[in-house]
Amino acid sequence: MSVYALTPKPGFERYTIQVGWNPHRTFFATVVDFAWDPVTDPDNEPDTVRIGPVETVLDPAEVLLAVEPYAHIPADLAAALRADQAAHPARR
């Protein structure tokens, strides 16, 4: 399994942003605000992105595109994700 924590873009510092290759043999992406409290901040509901926990994603570009509005994407991240996939290929 691989997990890469990404640096939020300005204005999205409240989010934890991760992408990776998981044991279920799919890429995943999450954008979550773990500190948001709906009781104290009901009018500022955060965005939430979750790709990969249910559906199978075999192209790293798909998860990177989903988190791109929120995070800085390192130039070599797609290649690293493909290497993770190659090291632990999806079972057929």
**CA proximity to 37, closest of 17, 16, 14:** 14
* Mean pLDDT, range 9-23, rounded to an integer: 94
Q: Give CA–CA dist 5/21, Å, rounded.
A: 12
Residue with token string 């640096």: 7
- The answer to whether residue 92 sits within a structural domain is no
Assigned token pair, 45: 């509901």
Burial-class residue 1 by CB neighbours within 10 Å (0-12, 13-18, 19+): exposed
The predicted model scores a pTM of: 0.88
- The answer to whether residue 48 sits within a structural domain is yes
Count the domains in the chain. Answer: 1
Structural domain containing residue 53: 2-87
> How confident is residue 53, by pLDDT bands cut at 50, 70 and 90?
confident
- The answer to whether residue 28 sits within a structural domain is yes
**CA proximity to 66, closest of 86, 83, 81:** 81
